[in-house]
């Protein structure tokens, strides 16, 4: 393994660990309303990413995308999806429903498989069929057990899965995309902060450390994104895919062992079905990677 690959793996693992412990930050600001936290996240992420765009010399790329009506339509869709995802996640953490958030990000790759099957007629191999069936079984069990859909988990899974799909179709780099998305969200964020009834959302009336916490919403968002981008330039996305379960696993551990959320026997069944589905996918991927390439005639 060369040094570039080792560095990429370190960046990738750090990015996913950062995402795994992100709820700690949102717990620290949980006295502030979810919409106000979301607004500060948008505001300071925009400030940071625009600074990065200028430093990296990507401003012409950003302007080019802004001049494309087709790209703007796609960006409007991705912006709505990531805003819904961020808002739902903040609400889940602040309302002591981190287990639901964890479940959502565990389900996410399985939802992506189902989206491919339903909307793009993807042909699923046996492993993906089993994984998709286990995912559906987990959701059905939740409905039977609790009499309602696990809406937080499904909202997080579906918004992030469709967000990834739209961003892939848009084909812009992560920093340009995030700059434009936060730009589109910025007017709504500023209006929310202007008309908010929560005094803690007003940075002009807060103490220094409260404002530091509010500003930190930007780095909490952008640092793992930068690490992931650096990792993606050094290692394959297939390799990074194996790290994606670090995030929901960390959220799960924090929920149960740090914040005392109840992991009931019924929840164990739900998570057990999802974990089984993910194990099927992981083992299938490992087997595919170990198969020798097919020989072709010269």
Host H or E run for residue 57: none
One-letter-per-residue 3-state SS of 204-251: CCCCHHHHHHHHCHHHHHHHHHHHHHHHHCCCCHHHHHCCCCHHHHHH
How many C-beta neighbours within 10 Å does residue 183 have? 17
Contacts within 8 Å (CB) and 24+ apart, 52-55: 52/175, 52/222, 52/226, 53/175, 53/176, 53/179
pLDDT digits (tens, 9 = 90+) for 125-175: 888 889 889 999 999 999 988 788 899 999 999 999 999 888 878 878 888
State yes or no: pLDDT of 216 exceeds 50: yes
Q: Which two tokens stand for residue 9?
A: 């793996």
How far apart CA 221 and CA 181 sit, in angstroms, is 13
Residue 239 confidence (pLDDT): 75
Residue with tokens 């765009």: 53
Closest CA to 131 of 14, 290, 280, 266: 280
pLDDT digits (tens, 9 = 90+) for 40-56: 999 999 999 999 999 98
**How far, CA to CA in Å, does 296 sit from each of 254, 288, 293?**
50, 18, 9
How far apart, in Å, do the first and last CA atoms of the chain sit?
Answer: 30
pLDDT digits (tens, 9 = 90+) for 3-36: 888 898 999 999 999 999 999 999 999 988 899 9
Q: Tell me the three state secondary structure of residue 257.
A: helix
How far apart CA 254 and CA 30 sit, in angstroms, is 15
Give the HSE-up count for residue 126: Cα atoms under 13 Å, Cβ half-sphere.
4
Residue 240 confidence (pLDDT): 77
Banded pLDDT at 1 (limits 50, 70, 90): low
How far apart CA 215 and CA 203 sit, in angstroms, is 9
Residue 233 confidence (pLDDT): 79
Residue with tokens 């895919």: 241
> Residues near 243 by Cβ (< 8 Å), separated by ≥ 6?
12, 13, 15, 16
Residue 255 confidence (pLDDT): 96
State yes or no: pLDDT of 297 exceeds 70: no
Residue 215 confidence (pLDDT): 95
Residue 92 confidence (pLDDT): 95
How far apart CA 216 and CA 191 sit, in angstroms, is 20
How many C-beta neighbours within 10 Å does residue 53 have? 20
Residue 173 confidence (pLDDT): 83
Candidate from 54-63, 117-126, 267-276 with smallest mean pLDDT? 117-126
Averaged pLDDT for residues 76-93:
95
Residue 148 confidence (pLDDT): 82
- Which of residues 202 and 222 earns the better pLDDT score? 222
Residue 237 confidence (pLDDT): 67
Averaged pLDDT for residues 196-221:
88
Closest CA to 235 of 8, 3, 1: 8
Averaged pLDDT for residues 63-90:
93
Report whether 245 contacts 239 (CB < 8 A). no
pLDDT digits (tens, 9 = 90+) for 236-290: 766 777 788 999 999 999 999 999 999 999 999 999 999 999 999 888 877 876 7
Banded pLDDT at 291 (limits 50, 70, 90): low
Residue 157 confidence (pLDDT): 93
> Across the chain, what does the average pLDDT equal?
89
Percent of the chain with pLDDT over 70: 96
């Amino acid at each position: 393994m060369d040094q570039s690959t080792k560095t990429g793996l370190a960046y990738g693992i750090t990015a996913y660990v950062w995402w795994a412990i992100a709820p700690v930050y949102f717990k620290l600001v949980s006295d502030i309303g979810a919409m106000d936290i979301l607004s500060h996240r948008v505001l300071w992420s925009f400030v940071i990413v625009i600074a990065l765009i200028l430093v990296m010399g990507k401003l012409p790329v950003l302007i080019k995308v802004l001049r494309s009506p087709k790209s703007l339509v796609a960006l409007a869709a991705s912006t709505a999806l990531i805003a819904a995802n961020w808002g739902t996640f903040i609400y889940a953490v602040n309302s002591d429903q981190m287990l639901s958030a964890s479940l959502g990000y565990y389900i996410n790759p399985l939802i992506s498989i189902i989206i491919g099957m339903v909307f793009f007629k993807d042909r699923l191999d046996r492993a993906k069929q089993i994984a998709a069936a286990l995912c559906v079984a987990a959701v059905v069990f939740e409905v039977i057990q609790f009499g309602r859909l696990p809406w937080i988990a499904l909202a997080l899974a579906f918004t992030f899965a469709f967000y990834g799909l739209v961003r892939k179709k848009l084909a812009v780099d992560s920093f340009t995309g995030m700059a434009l998305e936060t730009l589109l969200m910025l007017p709504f964020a500023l209006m929310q902060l202007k008309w908010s009834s929560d005094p803690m959302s007003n940075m002009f009336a807060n103490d220094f450390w409260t404002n530091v916490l509010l500003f930190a919403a930007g780095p909490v968002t952008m640092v793992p994104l930068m690490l992931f981008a650096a990792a993606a330039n050094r290692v394959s996305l297939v390799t990074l895919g194996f790290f994606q379960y670090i995030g929901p696993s960390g959220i799960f551990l924090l929920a149960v062992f740090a914040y005392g959320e109840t992991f009931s026997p019924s929840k164990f069944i739900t998570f057990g079905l999802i974990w089984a589905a993910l194990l099927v996918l992981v083992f299938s991927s490992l087997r595919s990677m170990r198969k020798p390439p097919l020989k072709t005639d010269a």
